[in-house]
Amino acid sequence: MFHVQTYIYFPIVRHKFTSFPTRIPVDDTVTLRRAKPYLDLDRFEGYIELTYYGQPILTHKLGDFIIDYWCYLVEALEDYIKKGSGRMYLPDQPIPIEFEEKGLNWVLMIVGEAGEYGKWLLPREELIKALIKGAVRFFKGLYDAFGNDNVGQNYFKGLYKEFLEINKRYFGN
């Protein structure tokens, strides 16, 4: 069973006298709304937490620009679905994440050069569903937290709708 959660880092260095946690789960929209004045909504950082039966795969060690991270990850996943392999790099680091087909029902997920951060043989359909639904949940959280003004309405709603369409394309719902 997969668990996917996305966290947004609060820029503690610049705002050390606030009472915000250092990382905010994307579905904690109340805290994110309060943190909005301190965040650069174009390029805020965070990380994806992906575990399989409690075994960590993606962790805080791979934090980066989180909007781009999710976009690149789903794009690599879609390449895998279409071609049997997909690869991306973290947005601001030379760390690859790869997906390789290993039979009809399995995916080899490699994180880091030559698996520096690990290699996992994972069930194909479960992984695809977990990551796409995780992306939808992430973009819905951003829209719920930051979509209350014109910029947020256009930008975050657009991203959320785009990932809903990807979800619909693969899962019909």
Provide the number of structural domains found in the chain.
1
- Which domain covers residue 110, as residue numbers? 2-171
**61, 9 contact by CB (below 8 A):** no
Q: What would you report as the CA-atom Rg of the chain, rounded to the nearest whole angstrom? A: 16
Q: Give Cα separations from 129 to 44, 53, 62, 74 (angstroms).
A: 25, 15, 21, 11
30-84 residue pLDDT tens: 999 999 988 888 889 999 999 999 999 999 999 999 999 999 999 999 999 999 9
132-168 residue pLDDT tens: 999 999 999 999 999 887 767 788 999 999 999 999 9
